Amino acid sequence: MREITCAEITEAVASLCIKANKRLPENLEKRIHECAAEEQSPVGKAVFDDLIANLQAAREEDFPICQDTGMAVVFIELGQDVHITGGTLRQAVDAGVHKGYTEGYLRCSVVGDPLERVNTTDNTPAVIHLELVEGDKMKIAVCPKGFGSENMSQLKMMTPAASQDDIVQFVVDVIAKAGSNPCPPIVVGVGIGGNFEECALLAKKALCRDASIRNPKPLYAELEQKMLERINKLGIGPQGFGGTVTALCVNIEEGATHIAGLPVSVNVGCHVTRHAETVL
């Protein structure tokens, strides 16, 4: 049994909150540059130039990439041979979010109650997704999620009678309705399967996948490409000013489901779809 202290977890989460908000994953930044070269619209190209300049300025000036520094979504893979000492996992993670957002001068956007709307002033509590795995390590991924794009997300409880074309159409319709609201060019996470809540989690996991990695199953990799092509034909373009690149990539994650169900969810991410991870 290996011991990991709450203090170690807190420091790791704090560091990841700051890193994720100031630096895009290399694979996503690379994809932005690739799509900038592919964009056909002069206005779209100019917008891409501005987005790339913004990334550079954030790097040089050590500023957040976006003023919406998001709600902290934390994925944890916890080895079953790990014993956490000095408090609870929830306490450790929230302390890390508190430290990262206050000491990193990141905007605190979380309210403690959805109707009373009082800001918690430190961006806590985090949304935590915990998975027990083999081993004696802990993998932590912090994925700050802004709500301009989160608000555009949808879930639909389809039936097995739905065709692949129906699924593609639903995803395309979600993005068409979103228009410029999620600050395109966007990243699209799609969950297929599971039940109501598992389907949404699959879409969130898909959103955080490396932009260069396609689904390992040919069926879903083909669907990813088909959805991407259809979305980019919408002509929404960078920041909604029109163009040939509306989405940077479409990632699908699938899961087992009930014989009577076919849930499909779409989690939309802006061009600043941030995540950073470490292993303790």
pLDDT at 151 (0 to 100): 98
The H-assigned helical ranges of the chain are 6-22, 26-38, 42-61, 89-103, 147-150, 164-178, 196-207, 218-232
User: What residue ranges in 118-185 does DSSP mark as E strands?
Assistant: 127-133, 138-145, 154-158
Q: Are strands 138-145 and 276-279 parallel, antiparallel or unpaired?
A: antiparallel
Q: What value does the mean pLDDT take over residues 257-269?
A: 98
Whether the CA torsion 210, 211, 214, 220 is positive or negative: it is positive
pLDDT at 256 (0 to 100): 98
Q: What value does the mean pLDDT take over residues 114-119?
A: 98
Structure tokens at 86: 């000095």
pLDDT at 24 (0 to 100): 95
pLDDT at 58 (0 to 100): 96
Residue 204, CA distances (Å) to 50, 132, 197 in order: 27, 18, 11
pLDDT at 69 (0 to 100): 97
| DSSP secondary structure code for residue 209 in this structure | S
Structure tokens at 87: 């408090």
Averaged confidence pLDDT in the chain: 97
Q: What pLDDT, in 10s, does the model give residues 134-148?
A: 999 999 999 999 999
Q: What pLDDT, in 10s, does the model give residues 161-220?
A: 999 999 999 999 999 999 999 999 999 999 999 999 999 999 999 999 999 999 999 999
* Phi, psi (deg, nearest 5) at residue 19: -60, -45
pLDDT at 223 (0 to 100): 98
Q: What pLDDT, in 10s, does the model give residues 209-256?
A: 999 999 999 999 999 999 999 999 999 999 999 999 999 999 999 999
Closest CA relative to residue 247, chosen from 267, 262, 218, 276: 267
Compute the distance between CA of residue 263 and CA of residue 38 in angstroms, rounded to an integer.
Answer: 33
Q: 78-116: buried (b, 16+ CB within 10 Å) or exposed (e) per residue? A: bbeebebeeeebeebbbbbbbbbbeebebebbbeeeeee
The model's confidence at residue 72, banded by pLDDT at 50, 70 and 90, is very high
pLDDT at 203 (0 to 100): 98
